Amino acid sequence: MQNPEHSVLLDVQGLKVHFKLQGGLLGQRQIGTVKAVDGVSFQLRRGETLGLVGESGCGKSTTGLAILRMVEISDGRIILDGQDITTLSRRDVRRVRRKMQMVYQDPFGSLNPRMRVLDLVGEPLKIHGLIDKNIGYRAQVLELLHLVGLNPNMADRYPHEFSGGQRQRIGIARALAAQPDLIICDEPVSALDVSIQAQIINLLEDLQQRLGLTYLFIAHDLAVVRHICDSIMVMYLGQAVEIAPRDQLYDHPQHPYTQALLSAIPLPDPRAEMERGFDASLQGEVPSPVNPPSGCAFHPRCKHAWSLCSERKPALTKTADGHFVACHLHDPAVLDKAG
Amino acid sequence: MTAQIGASLSADDRAEPAPTTPLLQVRGLKTVFRQGGNTVSAVDGVSFDVRHGETLAIVGESGSGKSVTAMSILRLIPSPPGEIVDGKIEFDGRDLLSLSEEEIRRVRGNDIAMIFQEPMSSLNPVLTIGRQLAEPIQVHRRAAGRKNILQRCIELLRQVRIPEPVTRLHAYPHQFSGGMRQRAMIAMALACEPKLIIADEPTTALDVTVQAQILELLKDLTRRHGTSMILITHDLGVVARYADRINVMYAGRIVERGTALQIFDNPRHPYTIGLMDSMPKLNQPPGARLRPIDGQPPDLANPPTGCRFHPRCRFAVERCQQEAPPLEQLADEHWKACWVDVDAKP
């Protein structure tokens, strides 16, 4: 057994989430399938942060929901802390869900406007029976508010009295109330202004340090992801195209999609921008997941694509320690044959 | 222009040398919104120029007044509750605030065009792209005759690089992807060859790879036609890549102005410095702790006295609470509104 600090908390194996596309007059005929997540595997170690990045429709949010068992899983396994939770009953899922909490993108839409902050944050304590008689419900909530940097005397106010950044703190306090091991953050800062965004990022980092939390960090902002994550999985149309430790991914991106994504981000530095110029290689937009391209889903937009790419789907191949890429350019078997 | 980045056009592709009077002069603009006894001063005495052929960025966070400034220029402030209470806006020799409703309508879309953030809500869902593209051309009588108008529409779609323009004329907005819709919006903005384009967060709703394509297209087209642009955004990366000059706004006022290089290399207002420190940067070593700006943006129904940034400013002195600092020139092109001489270098 390894050091428990670095034991695997979350193990996702071959996860598939397929949505049926209904059509016909009464919407009862199945006219297709959307493969929102199509065979994704990764491991997340305790105390670490894994970033899930990609453009809209890549399946990053659906992956998060599937782990929480909030959408139906079509295939694959999800193992949390050694326990297979893929086939648990609804009731049992609710019990495991205490260990994994979610922080949402929209701090305005995710809080019930009719509830006081006290009850918004305290609700998970009640649901999961976590009220400590010695401390008391109210005192427990005030402690949580203090932990996320909110003034405890705001406990009796309603969500509309708070700014975006403060509401996101409330959302985080609510997630922490359940005393989770894993927090799934789905675009937690993308709705916030830059100056407030930094406050929340720092808070998430502090909480991880103090409470030993593990984060699955879903985001599209690659600069934020680099700042907060230990390793990153890049997704494209439901599949993982590259998984790597942070510095590997940013310093030596291997998948053409990762490379294009990184070069598309304008840097807040006019000098660097002048040197770099514009990489016009990535044309077009993400195709519809209803009818994804054959072979490698990225091949119609890829400047390196050749005949094999439209015929055969590349497998995730290890190219360095902890670095996996799904691209025929990096598959030794293919490269050998090509000579 | 020092900050023109990666200029791809040769000298003779460019428009004729720029005249010296700026295309747009905004002076002391004040726009308020009145609601239930409160007066929100959204834009509070803003002055700036837009020169011929330049891209001027207005950067700020939500509530900074950047969009209200743009809407004021086009007199699109809904009234009530909004009202332009003071200031002067001179565009191409004409005083926009004294024009009649009919006259300002002729300016909109014709001389000044606007591109919005959400293309889906600015396009009419029940009209074909062709119909919507033809409308400004007909209204402003830029071409006559069905055939000529059709020709012009196809040419516009080709300019914004929409493939198969002839077929696409008959498509409806919902048949377009987000990026294509924004291309169609740009085609509409270009329809009457405006002198000024106001782009309000034109790529915020788009994926990053599409964002890059749209911004490159805008840069390319404005350069080729010598069109001036006001680029409104919260994204400092976009500003660094595409702006010649920058106005940084906070709580309804311009706090710093300069060329892109001045603002990024040598920010001098504490708010600008705070913004730079708040952002994780891809071209710097990871792991350094971010330095956020403390507190929240002010409630503009009840703004702070003196400098509106002083409650959040780590450099504030007593004077900042009492007197609002004016914009003062630091160097050629570089201006800031701050009583304290701040050195950005840590």
d(CA A45, CA B128): 52
B146: closest CA of chain A, how far (Å):
32
d(CA A76, CA B324): 62
Residues of B in contact with A267 (CB under 8 A): 237, 240-241, 281-283
DSSP A17-45: EEEEEEESTTS-EEEEEEEEEEEEEEEEE
Q: What is residue A95's predicted lDDT score, i.e. its pLDDT?
A: 87
Q: What is residue B6's predicted lDDT score, i.e. its pLDDT?
A: 41
Q: Which of A195, A247, A261, A263 is most worth mutating to test chain B (most B CB atoms within 10 A of its CB)?
A: A195
Residues of B in contact with A195 (CB under 8 A): 61, 274-275, 278, 292-293
The answer, yes or no, to whether residue A271 has pLDDT greater than 90, is: no
Cβ-based neighbour number of residue B58 at 10 Å: 26
DSSP A58-72: SSHHHHHHHHTT-S-
Cβ-based neighbour number of residue B187 at 10 Å: 23
Note the pLDDT tens digit of each residue in A114-124.
Answer: 999 999 999 99
Alpha helices in chain A (DSSP H): 60-67, 90-97, 117-127, 137-147, 164-177, 194-211, 222-228, 246-251, 256-264, 270-276, 307-311, 332-338
**Structure token pair of residue A223:** 């600069």
Chain Cα centroid distance, residue B304: 26
Note the pLDDT tens digit of each residue in A207-228.
Answer: 999 999 999 999 988 999 999 9
Chain Cα centroid distance, residue B172: 28
Restricting to A residues 196-215, those with a Cβ less than 8 Å away from any Cβ of B are 196-199, 201-202, 205
Note the pLDDT tens digit of each residue in A124-136.
Answer: 999 999 999 899 9
φ and ψ at residue A221, rounded to 5 degrees: -85, 105
* CB nearest to A268's CB, from B61, B261, B279: B279
Point out the least confidently predicted range of A25-29, A79-83, A186-190, B272-276. A25-29
Q: Please, are residues B110 and B152 in contact by the beta-carbon 8 Å criterion?
A: no
Residues of B in contact with A201 (CB under 8 A): 280, 290
By the CB < 8 Å criterion, does B130 face chain A? no
The answer, yes or no, to whether residue A2 has pLDDT greater than 60, is: no
* Size of chain A, expressed as the number of residues it contains: 339
Q: What is residue B144's predicted lDDT score, i.e. its pLDDT?
A: 76
By the CB < 8 Å criterion, does B237 face chain A? yes
Restricting to B residues 70-109, those with a Cβ less than 8 Å away from any Cβ of A are none
- Tens-digit pLDDT string for chain B (346 aa): 444 444 444 444 444 555 579 999 999 999 999 988 889 999 999 999 999 999 999 999 888 999 999 999 999 999 889 999 999 999 999 999 999 999 999 999 889 999 988 777 788 889 999 999 998 888 887 767 888 899 999 999 998 888 889 989 999 988 888 888 889 999 999 888 999 999 999 988 788 888 888 898 999 999 999 999 999 999 998 999 899 999 999 999 999 999 999 999 999 999 999 999 999 988 778 878 899 999 888 989 899 999 999 999 999 999 999 999 999 999 999 999 999 988 655 4
**Whether B290 and A220 lie within 8 Å, measured CB to CB:** no
**Whether A266 and B215 lie within 8 Å, measured CB to CB:** yes
Note the pLDDT tens digit of each residue in A278-297.
Answer: 666 677 888 888 888 999 99
Q: What is residue B136's predicted lDDT score, i.e. its pLDDT?
A: 85
- What order of strands is seen across the sheet that includes strand A231-236? A100-103, A182-186, A214-219, A49-53, A231-236, A239-245, A323-325, A317-320
Quote the radius of gyration of chain B (alpha carbons, Å): 21
Q: What is residue A294's predicted lDDT score, i.e. its pLDDT?
A: 93
d(CA B26, CA A54): 41
* CB nearest to A195's CB, from B215, B242, B274: B274
B164: closest CA of chain A, how far (Å):
14
Q: What is residue B10's predicted lDDT score, i.e. its pLDDT?
A: 42
φ and ψ at residue B35, rounded to 5 degrees: -145, 125
φ and ψ at residue B306, rounded to 5 degrees: 60, -135
* CB nearest to B6's CB, from A247, A267, A278: A278
By the CB < 8 Å criterion, does A239 face chain B? no
Note the pLDDT tens digit of each residue in A32-51.
Answer: 888 999 999 999 999 999 99
Which residues make Cβ contacts (< 8 Å) with residue A111, sequence separation at least 6?
A: A120, A159, A167, A170, A171, A174
Note the pLDDT tens digit of each residue in A292-314.
Answer: 899 999 999 998 999 999 999 99
* CB nearest to A222's CB, from B236, B239, B282: B282
Q: What is residue B213's predicted lDDT score, i.e. its pLDDT?
A: 86
- What order of strands is seen across the sheet that includes strand A75-80? A29-45, A8-23, A75-80, A83-84
B43: closest CA of chain A, how far (Å):
19
**Structure token pair of residue B68:** 């209200």
**Structure token pair of residue A329:** 């350019």
Cβ-based neighbour number of residue A57 at 10 Å: 21
* Res. A337 pLDDT band, cuts 50 70 90: low
Asked whether the bond before B81 is cis by omega within 30 degrees of 0, the reply is: yes
Q: Please, are residues B29 and B69 in contact by the beta-carbon 8 Å criterion?
A: yes
Q: What is residue A22's predicted lDDT score, i.e. its pLDDT?
A: 80
d(CA B295, CA B316): 14
Chain A residue closest in CA terms to B63: A193
A133: closest CA of chain B, how far (Å):
35
B253-259/A100-103 β-pairing: unpaired
B228-233/B55-59 β-pairing: parallel
Residue type (1 letter), B169: L
The answer, yes or no, to whether residue A155 has pLDDT greater than 80, is: yes
